[in-house]
Structure 1
Amino acid sequence: MRAALKGGFADSTILQQHGERMTTGNFEPGGLSKFQLKDLDNVLVEAESANLKLPMTQGVRDRFAHFVDNMDGADKDHSGLYLELRARNGMDT
């Protein structure tokens, strides 16, 4: 997939770096998932104070919470959320 997107509008440094991590299964911390979860919680608290609903942010937050709390993902890189997606789809993690 990375090769198909490389050089097009969907390409980015983030895609290349994290795409490689996902492809090779390298989830050594760069940006810890527990901090990603904390940041998403903060976004939702601020949104609520402004009477905003952010359903996509809530959905991603819930996926990170599952990854952190139920899949031992707290100290894995946030690209490890890919493992939650695999588990959600009944695939080996």
Structure 2
Amino acid sequence: MVKNYMEIVVDNILKKILPDYSNLCKCEKCCDDIKAIALNNLKPIYVVTNAGNLYAKVNELEIQFSTDIVKELVKAIDIVSKNPHHNS
């Protein structure tokens, strides 16, 4: 199976920082937009692995890349909060 580890790490970190943004819409569309914007600004890390290995590696990546990922997520949150694309 080919998987982009960065997608999983971004998803995990976003779940951790979303509660800090009380005025942010957290609907599925807005969260997907935030992830997409952040992922477009982060280097993908494609690996071939089985599911068990995948989750073991995620923890390593979160520690190694968390600062860059949080930075991109904060930028993406700012963009989406000012320009939500969901229906009101």
Normalised to the residue count of structure 2, the TM-score between the two structures is 0.31
- Which structure has greater helix proportion? 2
- Which structure has greater strand proportion? 2
* Bigger relative contact order (CA 8 A; separation at least 6): 2
